[in-house]
Homo-oligomer: A and B are copies of this chain.
Amino acid sequence: MAEREEVENKQVILNHCVRGSPKESDMEIRTARTKLKLPGGSSGAILVKNLYLSCEPYTYVTNGMSKMEGKIEGVNLESFNPGSPIVGYGVAEVLDSSHPNFKKGDLVWGITTWEEYSIITSTEGLFKIQHTDVPLSYYTGILGMPGMTAYAGFFEVCSPKKGERVFISAASGAVGQLVGQFAKLFGCYVVGSAGSKEKVDLLKNKLGFDEAFNYKEEADLNVALERYFPDGIDIYFENVGGKMLDAVLLNMTVHSRIAACGMISQYNLEHPEGIHNLLCLLTKRIRMEGFLVFDYYHLYPKFLEMIIPQIKEGKISYVEDIAEGLENGPSALIRLFSGRNIGKQLVAVTRG
């Protein structure tokens, strides 16, 4: 097929800025046409075929779909353009390049757009994939941003010590499932919360958590935490915010640490819930620290050195929830916010 010929390019378009939780009707599937060759005279750009697209709160935030829109400071975000394909993380193959660092056939992960073929002009957000003897989809998860988030959050922000008691909310998610496994391998006692029996089973039976519970079945989160942490929580890996954070604060130990990675329960609220137990920070001398993975990418080579052997030796598992085809992208993104996904939610654009 001549590269100058146009082909169909299926896209997921975000129609407008969404208030509250996103609905499928906020997005639409459109078919554009594109050439499989960069326009003449282009410089520093690459044309890619997208293989996997990642569904994550981040996708939601950067596309102006959330109350957090524009609020992540000090990070270069792609600006939100209604009527354009959603911007987000993905895994892609380079089809054409006018950038000296990329050539046809390279595999990359990083910021791309939700369509079959993307032209990426700002390549700073891309990492070249060196290890291809692992599932490529892993670069949307364990080997991509969520993996680095779990690694930096646990090892750099939580300052863990062997034997400490670790609690993780949204524990079966893209990041949580890894934090739990890192903590177990490190020698900690690990408990996770999740929103369904299936997820709780996953945590206990497949991911090796010491304990797990379904927060939706607990009348009193404080009581639930006291049950699993009679001597208190040394490290809390925070993914949800709101009522869970308030209950956790009551159960933290002296000199404990909270790594605030996400507060997914709050993103779509018109007014965030109030947190009432912050006085515990003082009486228990707790360090609570928000972090974003962008500040830690310099550690990515070190992270790969640790994680690739662990994957190959079967010491670490990674659970993915894969939607097949771009046309299932909108529902996959919405599943994430309703908590229906089991494990890392992603979209396989095309197989093979």
Contacts and interface: CB of A to CB of B under 8 A. Distances in A.
Interface in A277-327: 277-292, 295
A254 interface: yes
Interface string A71-106: 111100000000000000000000000000000000
Contacts of A274: 273-276
Interface stretch (A35-43, A121-129, A259-267): A259-267
A260 B245 contact: no
A195 interface: no
A223 interface: no
A217 B271 CA distance: 26
Contact of A276 (B273, B279, B286): B273
A282 B290 contact: yes
A110 interface: no
Nearest to A257: B289
Nearest to A67: B279
A32 interface: no
17 contacts: A68-B279, A73-B253, A74-B254, A74-B284, A241-B278, A245-B278, A260-B281, A266-B279, A272-B278, A275-B275, A281-B289, A282-B290, A285-B289, A285-B290, A286-B290, A287-B287, A287-B288
